[in-house]
Structure formats: C-alpha cells, structure tokens
Amino acid sequence: MAADDSISRQESADSHISRDDSRKYWAGVDATVSGMLGGLPHVSRVDIRGSRNFLAKLGVGSKPGQRVAASALEGGAGIGRVTEGLLLDGIATEVDVIEPIAKFTEGLRGRPGVRSIFNTGLEDWQPADGVQYDLIWIQWCVGHLTDAQLVLFLERCRLALNPGGLIVVKENNSTGGEDDFDQLDSAVTRQDDTLRHIFRDAGLRLVQVELQKGFQADLLPVRMYALKPAQ
Ligand SMILES: C[S@@+](CC[C@H](N)C(=O)[O-])C[C@H]1O[C@@H](n2cnc3c(N)ncnc32)[C@H](O)[C@@H]1O
C-alpha cells in the first residue's frame, strides 16, 4: 500500500465535511424540486409513494386504523417537497421545519400546517421549550453532519419525542464498503452499517427498515429507517 493511501485511510470520510462549503453549495441551488433532487425531479413521486407506504406499515396515516401525527418535525426540509407532499398530506396535522438555507423555506411561511421554521443546521437546532413530536422525518441531509454531530442531533430528537413517537431517517447508502465523501456538496454518503451504529450510539433502536423500490437503476440504494428510543 502506498504511503498516501495509508494516510487517507486513517481519516474518516466525515472529517472532510465543511459547513461553509456545503452552505455555499446549497445557496447556489434553485429553490425547485429539481434543485432539491440533483436534477432528477421525477424521482419525487416514487420517493413520496415509498415513504407513504412505509409509514402505513408503521400505522401512521389517515386511513382507518392508522393514526395521524398531531405534531411533526422535518429535518433538512429544503423547499418543503416532503413537508407538503407527504407530511401535510394526511400524515401530520402540524409540522415544524429545520432548514439552514432561508431562501428554500420562504414559500413555506404561512402555509397551512407549517408551524415553526428553524433556519439553522441540524447540528445547531435545539427543540423549543415544551414542544414534543409524534413523528420526526429526516431525509437526504444527514450527510452534512459529522458522525458525532449526527449522534447528538438524534439524541435531541429522541428526547423531543412524545411517548410512542417515531423518527424516520431516509438516506442514500454507499455501496463500496466504506463511507464516501463528496466534495461537490461537502457531504458524506454512509454505509448502512455506519448509520446503524450511529442510531445505536444515539440511544435509538431500529423498529423497521426498508429499501426504497422503483428508483432508476443508476441511483444509490436508499433506505428508510424507522427508529424509537432504545428504552
Ligand atoms: C438533497 S436536499 C433534500 C431536501 C429535502 N429533505 C427533500 O428530500 O426534498 C438537502 C437539503 O439539506 C439541507 N442542508 C444542508 N446542510 C444542512 C445541515 N447542516 N442541516 C440541515 N439541513 C442541511 C440543504 O440546504 C438542502 O435543503
């Protein structure tokens, strides 16, 4: 093994994350579904359908026998593609949103069901006093946090859950046997295994996991992880 190789292997992928670089990248992205999804807006319909089916299996929804989440939180919500397309469409009554790029959330202000908007990163977010959630949805954004930041954020989420509440993380998985850093948006794509370790470290247990079906073959695998407090 070359000397350079051994050095790069000692550095974890998340050590390269730069908050400034990722903020710069997202500030330059259009506030559109295409912008949110890297130029693949057609992925959204299949994505939302997969998420809705996943939640239905967990008993969340507005069909008979399911329960609607009175209070939900979405992490890294962007323009609210999921907020409005999934959560406020029969899944939750009121949604708080975390999103660091303020221009993305401008269109969400004052929309029915949208409660608080936190224009901050997940790593800096603190729950408002006395506000608890039945459902916390976090999709396609945790790669901007280091492993340590993600553990701490998920711990705060765990403590902000109502009894019986649920956290869902929906993310790409890397496939090459290691976590991958992407300079373009300064984010890490983690292996399934790394994410499971992080969930455990945050005091969460996996209650259901599912691979998103129906995406085009050249996309990375996407998993939905449903999590509850370990104790
Ligand atoms: C790929 S988009 C996904 C948006 C939304 N979750 C969706 O599925 O449509 C990634 C989002 O993460 C946001 N983001 C970047 N850094 C973040 C951070 N540190 N905390 C929370 N969100 C972040 C970006 O601004 C962007 O809105």
Q: Judge whether 76 is annotated as a binding position.
A: yes
Residue ranges of domains in the chain, CATH in brackets: 16-229 (3.40.50.150)
CA distance 138 to 207: 16
| Spatial CB neighbours of 46, under 8 Å, sequence gap ≥ 6 | 212, 214, 215
N-term to C-term CA, the chain = 44
- pLDDT, residue 30, reads 98
- Pocket lined around ligand 1, Cβ cut-off 6 Å: 22, 26, 36, 76-78, 81-82, 98-101, 104, 121-123, 139-141, 144-145
CA distance 42 to 33: 9
Which among 210, 208, 197, 121 is positioned nearest to 167, based on CA atoms? 208
What phi and psi, each to the nearest 5 degrees, are found at residue 123? -70, -20
What phi and psi, each to the nearest 5 degrees, are found at residue 170? -120, 115
Burial class (CB in 10 A: 0-12, 13-18, 19+), 199: buried
CA distance 73 to 33: 20
The number of CA neighbours under 13 Å toward the Cβ of 13 is 20
Q: How far is the CA of 141 from the centre of ligand 1 (A)?
A: 4
Judge contact between 52 and 66, C-beta under 8 A. no
Q: How far is the CA of 4 from the centre of ligand 1 (A)?
A: 33
Q: Which two tokens stand for residue 62?
A: 């507005």
Report the C-alpha dihedral over residues 145, 100, 112, 129, rounded to 10 degrees.
70
CA distance 31 to 73: 20
- pLDDT, residue 208, reads 98
- pLDDT, residue 9, reads 52
- pLDDT, residue 199, reads 98
Residue ranges, the chain, pLDDT below 50: 1-8
Asked whether the ipTM of the predicted complex exceeds the cut of 0.90, the reply is: yes
CA distance 35 to 38: 6
- pLDDT, residue 10, reads 60
Q: Judge whether 81 is annotated as a binding position.
A: yes
- pLDDT, residue 1, reads 37
Q: Judge whether 67 is annotated as a binding position.
A: no
